[in-house]
Amino acid sequence: MLFVVPTPIGNLGDVTLRSLEIFKTANIILTEDGRVTSKLLTLLEITNKPRYINLIKNHNFNFEPINKVLQELKTNPEQMVALVTDAGTPGLSDPGFEVINMARELEIGYTVLPGANALVPAIVASNLVSKDFRFYGFLPLKKGRETAWKEIASSEVPVVLYESVHRMEKFILEAQKNLVPIRKISILKDLSKMYEDYWVGTVKELKNYQFKDKGEFAVVVDKS
């Protein structure tokens, strides 16, 4: 069976008991980066030595070896294959989505373990979402970015998104340009890590946000 396994997003203690059991017995791990996952298993004191297959190769989805693994799994469903990403739950704004789609098309059984992710903690910590929201993942780098900002600006429900440290300064400038000054916004940095930080204010107050060029960010923009 294919197991979709969440991994810690910062604090090693985020790992679940079920995730540990899968790591102890998995034959193959499909991962964003085998080096990162191997290091994680070492930190968790897992002695199992699975075969690692990276989801991305030369900036493209690593289709052939992943398809081969899934075809073998279809023939021998008793194999244990784990799908992980570098941090959090696979399938949201990462190549894990493609693997799950392939498994569905091949009619391979899979199960998704609950656990660490940045989305839910960001929503709760922002205190801007009580029910409905829209998740954007990462904004488009170029094509479609302007359209995305127009949709965020007019959204009648809060918008949740992720942003890379390398584009956070650009995001802050674009937020001030595209959103009305009184719109509330929350920036959550390094969730679950030692230097975790929550900031909630208005777009106008973004100029006071002390941006540091390190960390991982989740952002919640209040409804229009």
What integer is the mean pLDDT of 125-134? Answer: 94
Q: How confident is the model at residue 211 (pLDDT cuts 50, 70, 90)?
A: confident
Q: Can you give the pTM of this predicted structure? A: 0.89
| 119-221: CATH superfamily | Tetrapyrrole methylase, C-terminal domain (3.30.950.10)
- Top pLDDT among 195 and 54 is at 54
Q: DSSP secondary structure string, the chain? A: -EEE--B-SS-GGG--HHHHHHHHH-SEEEES-HHHHHHHHHHTT----PEEEESEETTEE-HHHHHHHHHHHHH-TTS-EEE--SSB-TTSSSTHHHHHHHHHHTT--EEE-----SHHHHHHHHT--SS--EEEEEPPSSTTHHHHHHHHHH-SS-EEEEE-GGGHHHHHHHHHHHS-TT-EEEEEESTTSTT-EEEEEESGGGGG----S-S-EEEEE---
Structure confidence by residue, pLDDT tens digits, 35-63: 999 999 999 999 999 999 999 999 999 99
pLDDT band at 214 (very low <50, low <70, confident <90, very high): confident
Strand partners, 56: 61
Same fold, 2-112 and 119-221: no
Q: What is the model's pLDDT at position 212?
A: 74
CB of 34 within 8 A of CB of 53? yes
Q: Is the pLDDT of residue 73 over 90?
A: yes
Q: Which fold has domain 2-112?
A: Cobalt-precorrin-4 Transmethylase; domain 1 (3.40.1010)
d(CA 30, CA 35) in angstroms, rounded, equals 12
Q: So where are the chain's domains?
A: 2-112, 119-221
pLDDT digits (tens, 9 = 90+) for 77-99: 999 999 999 999 999 889 999 99
What contacts 218, CB < 8 A, 6 or more positions away?
118, 119, 121, 122, 160, 161, 162, 163, 187, 188, 191
